[in-house]
């Protein structure tokens, strides 16, 4: 069976069941550095069962749409934030959890200035930049133990633009 998924723009409301959309929209929460810098404060719910927060740099290969979604993953021991290091859009795929099985995948396209944070245990697709250079700062749990579960779909999902 093949199912086609249409992408939708990433909004905080649509993404809320899966995580946080981090942006610098609207007025800043506070001004710092003698009023020369706006701080958009505490934009993601970082959540780690143990270990520590770490910042890594990921370099993902550019993908194009349509794209076949075969697998999603989740991290049961910690949230995971993806912060693009360019203004380019990227694809974000999430799925609801049904007793340990991902269901109803959804696909979002970011706009310039958006970053995302997956809540702990959220089923999601792999890093999918849609342009070069595909560089991201990633904030996630660093620690012992298996913090990765993968699910390979029987259904073939085609993500259309």
The 10s digit of each residue's pLDDT in 31-83 is 999 999 999 999 999 999 999 999 999 999 999 999 999 999 999 999 999 99
Give 89-120 pLDDT, tens digit per residue.
999 999 999 999 999 999 999 999 999 999 99
Picking from 63, 54, 56, the residue whose alpha carbon sits closest to that of residue 134 is 63
Picking from 39, 72, 40, 48, the residue whose alpha carbon sits closest to that of residue 139 is 48
**How much is the mean pLDDT over the chain?**
97
Single pTM value for the model: 0.94
pLDDT of residue 1: 84
Give 137-155 pLDDT, tens digit per residue.
999 999 999 999 999 999 9
Helix (H, G, I), strand (E, B) or coil at 12: helix
Output the CA–CA distances (angstroms, integers) from residue 152 to 17, 103, 122, 141, in the order listed: 22, 12, 15, 23
């Amino acid at each position: 069976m093949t199912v086609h998924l249409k992408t939708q723009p990433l909004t905080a409301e649509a993404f809320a069941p899966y995580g946080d959309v981090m942006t610098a929209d609207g007025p800043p929460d506070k001004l710092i550095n003698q009023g020369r810098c706006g701080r958009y404060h505490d934009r993601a719910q970082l959540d780690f069962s143990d270990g520590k927060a770490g910042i890594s740099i990921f370099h993902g290969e550019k993908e194009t749409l349509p794209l076949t979604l075969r697998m999603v993953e989740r991290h049961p021991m910690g949230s995971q934030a993806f912060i693009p290091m360019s203004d380019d859009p990227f694809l974000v795929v999430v799925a609801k959890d049904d007793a340990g099985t991902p269901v109803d995948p959804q696909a979002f396209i970011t706009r310039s200035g958006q970053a995302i944070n997956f809540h702990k245990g959220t089923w999601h697709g792999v890093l999918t930049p849609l342009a070069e250079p595909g560089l991201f700062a990633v904030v996630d749990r660093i620690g012992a133990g298996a913090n990765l579960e993968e699910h390979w779909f029987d259904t073939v999902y085609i993500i259309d633009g």
